[in-house]
Structures are given as structure tokens and as C-alpha cells.
Amino acid sequence: MPGGLGHFTPNGTFLKVGFDRGGVNVQCPAMPETKPHPTTQEASDHGTNEAPSPLPSAKIPVTPVVAMAVVIVVMLLVLIVMKLKTPTADQKVADLRVELAELNRRSVSLGLPTLTGGEQLGDIASRLKKDADSMVLLSGRYQQLIDENNAELARKNAELLGSRQYQQGLTNDLVRLKNELQQAKSAGYEAESLRREKAELKTLCDAQVVELATLKQQLAAVGELASKEDMESLQRRYEETLRAKEFFESRTKELEGELGKARLFARSENELLPAAVKLFSTLRKLENQSEADIKKAYSQIGVDLGANVVNTLTFATGSAKMATADEGPVRQLVDNVPDGDLLLVIGYASETGNVDGNRTLSSDRATAVAELLTSVKRPGQQVQAVYLGQTDRFSSRFPERNQLCEVWQIHKQ
């Protein structure tokens, strides 16, 4: 509704300021015609000597109403500018829809339901809380699955490591068995050669015996009829034949001793007597075991195999010679061993030095003890020697404690 204010100016003109919905309306009516100021002449005609006064200015005085109107106009201009700079409601709605679409795209990628425009804030917050709880549960489940997978992976790695160690052990056993097989073949060839040589010597010895008998008959038949030269020739032949016979007999005994030694010492498991195979196989598996496990295994051997250690002999470093103090106890062992039982001597060496040298050293130690037992045993008793080579099963801190022989008594089954 239009309205306004007004007042008279000093020159008598009425100034009206109106307000309507469109803004400020200032109405200024036409100024009335003013009269001209009297000239100097006219003034003098009135009989005055006073100078003419200056003309009044047409400047409108600044009143509170005018100032208020100006402030209102400025405020309206500021509001118009702010209105132009502020985005419209439609623009805000469009931005919110874009943001809602992006949120729905992320929800779909996470497997969550989409947001709708008509939901209340409380419903959205409740659904988001449920989704967050579901995410926490899923995260915990995923972590559990990861832990289970890590545990399974660790178990598989342990199995793989164990299989590799077992494979390495099998490889070492294969190499050892190949070496033992080669040694057994060599020993077999050597024993067969000794047997052939013994047979040949026996044949020659028998021929010499026959020749000696023939010479004796010839000497007896010739008697005093033979010349001195013939008698001397026959005598030389007789003596030569006798020396040859003695040589062949001595060599035959040596070969029999070597053959006995070859039968006494088992270079591999295949050459062992049947009663000793299980014991040797069990003892060989005890390498790299703890002291407690070895003691437990020894006790179990007594129960399962009926075998036990009856003597243990130590040797000096690098030596296979028995100590003099050990010879008496070894000889006495046969007194307490029933006929039919087996005395198995097992040789060991420390891990210091060369592997092949230690193998030979351990076999020589076992053979030395077995030979002494063989020399005093009864015909019904059995003796055999075998080696297990270098070891640290008896002491890992003191190598010299592994330089020994064990004498096992295996009871007849």
C-alpha cells in the first residue's frame, strides 16, 4: 500500500516522499516561478545605500527521513546482490541429488542397500548403524578367515620343511646304502678270491704230500743200490717238497683266518645274521636324537628285541687298539652268554676328522673286539662285528666319548 511523508522547503515548495512495494517514490512538484531580485538601481530608487544581499541556494537539506530512505535503498541493493550470488533452491536440490547418487553407487559397490530420498534422518541413521554393525561383523569374519589361512599356511610350511628333511634323510641313507653295497660287493669279490686261492693252495699242498710219499717210496726202494748222487738228488727234492708243503699249509691257515675275519665283520645290513638285523636298523635310526629319546629307545629294545648292552669299551683318539684293562672283561663275557646267543659288536667314532677315515676306524674297533671274543667263545656261541661310523649320540660336548664299541647280547628267540 502506497504511503509517504512530505514537508515544505524554505522556498515554499512541498516535497513528498512516498513508499510502495516497488521501492521509494520521491515526488517533486514543479517549482513556481520566482520573482527577479531588484537591481541596484531599483534599490537606490527606494532610497537605500545598502548593498544587495546574495541569492539563497537551492540545496535540499539532509533530514532524518532522507537519510533513512537512502539506508533502505542501500539495504535493498545489498539484498538484491546477495540474492543473485546465492544458489537457488533448485540448484541445491540438484547438488543433493548428485551426492545421493554417488552415495548409492558406493553402497551398491559395498553390497549395501541404496538410500532413498523420502527417508527420514532417523531411519537413515538407524539403517546406517545396522550397515556399520554388519561391516564390523564381516570384518571380524574376514579377520578370522585370514588367521585360519595363516595358521594353515604355517602348518603347510612345517609339513613341507619336515618332508624336505625327511627327503634329505632318505637321500643320505641312499648314498650310505650305495656305499655299503659297493663295499659289500668288494668284500664279496675279496672273499671269493680268498676262497679260490685257498682251494688252489690246498690242491698244491695235496700234490706236495703225494710227491713226498712217492719220494719216500723211491728212497726206500732204491736203498743202497742207488748212487750217492741219486740219493742226494732225491733228498733235495724231498726237502723242497716238504718246504713247499709247509708254506702252502701256512698260507692256507692265513687265508682261513682272513675268510673268518671276512665272515666275522659285516660291512652292511645285508651281511648281518638274521638276529642282528632289527637291532642294527633300530640303532641306526637313533642318530640326531636327544639323550632322553636314546635312553628310552634302549629300554624299548630290551623289551621288543630281547637285546641289551653287556659291555662298552672306549678307545684313544685315532686308535683301534683295545686297552689292556679291557681284554679281561671281554674274555669273561662268553662265560655268561648261553649257547645260541649272539654277541654283536658295534663300532663308533667321533665326528672329528674325515668321514671315510672314521668309518674305517669304527669298523677296525668293532673287528678287534669281535676277534678277541671269537678266540675264546664256545662253538655254540655266535659273534659278529659291524660299524655305525661317526656319531655324537653319546656326547655332543665331548667328542672323545663317542670313540667306543658296544657289545650287545641278543638272546636266541
CATH (domain of 381): 3.30.1330.60
Query: What are the tens digits of pLDDT across the range 347-360?
Result: 999 999 899 899 99
Q: Are residues 277 and 406 in the same domain?
A: yes
DSSP one-letter string for 250-283: HHHHHHHHHHHHHHHB-SSGGGS-HHHHHHHHHH
Predicted pLDDT at 66: 72
User: Which residues are registered as beta bridge partners of 349?
Assistant: 390
Most confident of 85-89, 166-170, 258-262, 397-401: 397-401
Give the residue with greater pLDDT, 16 vs 282.
282
Given pLDDT bands bounded at 50, 70 and 90, which one contains residue 154? confident
Q: Are residues 287 and 342 in the same domain?
A: yes
Residue 6 domain-assigned (yes or no): yes
Residue by residue, what is the 3-state secondary structure of 148-166? HHHHHHHHHHHHHHHHHHH
Q: In total, how many domains does the chain have? A: 3
Q: Are 192 and 225 in contact (CB under 8 A)?
A: no
Q: Are 69 and 27 in contact (CB under 8 A)?
A: no
DSSP one-letter string for 61-105: P--HHHHHHHHHHHHHHHHHHHHHHSPPHHHHHHHHHHHHHHHHH
Q: Give the 3-state secondary structure of residue 241.
A: helix
Q: Are residues 80 and 131 in the same domain?
A: no
pLDDT at residue 371 tops 60? yes
Query: Which residue segment(s) compose the domain that 146 sits in?
Result: 126-223
pLDDT at residue 7 tops 50? no
Domain final residue pick, 197, 223, 249: 223
Q: Are residues 212 and 298 in the same domain?
A: no
Predicted pLDDT at 362: 94
CA distance to 119, 124, 135, per residue, from 130 (Å): 15, 10, 9
Predicted pLDDT at 26: 42
Predicted pLDDT at 96: 76
* Amino acid identity, position 102: E
Q: Give the 3-state secondary structure of residue 4.
A: strand
Query: What are the tens digits of pLDDT across the range 17-57?
Result: 444 444 444 444 444 444 444 444 444 444 444 444 444 44
Predicted pLDDT at 246: 78
Give the residue with greater pLDDT, 103 vs 375.
375
> What average pLDDT score do residues 240-262 get?
69
Residue 176 domain-assigned (yes or no): yes
Given pLDDT bands bounded at 50, 70 and 90, which one contains residue 300? very high
pLDDT at residue 388 tops 80? yes
Domain final residue pick, 223, 257, 282: 223
Cα separation, 346 vs 281, whole angstroms: 12
Domain final residue pick, 187, 203, 223: 223
Return the C-alpha cell found at 3.
504511503
Give the residue with greater pLDDT, 332 vs 37.
332
Residue 207 domain-assigned (yes or no): yes
Q: Are residues 194 and 315 in the same domain?
A: no
Query: What are the tens digits of pLDDT across the range 186-208?
Result: 555 555 666 676 677 677 777 76
Q: Are residues 344 and 215 in the same domain?
A: no
Q: Are residues 174 and 277 in the same domain?
A: no
Q: Give the 3-state secondary structure of residue 338.
A: coil
Give the residue with greater pLDDT, 275 vs 96.
275
Give the residue with greater pLDDT, 295 vs 205.
295
Residue 94 domain-assigned (yes or no): no
Cα separation, 313 vs 329, whole angstroms: 10
Residue 105 domain-assigned (yes or no): no
Most confident of 95-109, 149-163, 248-262: 149-163
Residue 402 domain-assigned (yes or no): yes
Q: Are residues 390 and 277 in the same domain?
A: yes
Q: Are residues 282 and 402 in the same domain?
A: yes
pLDDT at residue 257 tops 80? no
Residue 201 domain-assigned (yes or no): yes
Residue 48 domain-assigned (yes or no): no
Q: Are residues 5 and 77 in the same domain?
A: yes
Q: Are residues 276 and 203 in the same domain?
A: no
Q: Are residues 218 and 316 in the same domain?
A: no
* Amino acid identity, position 28: C
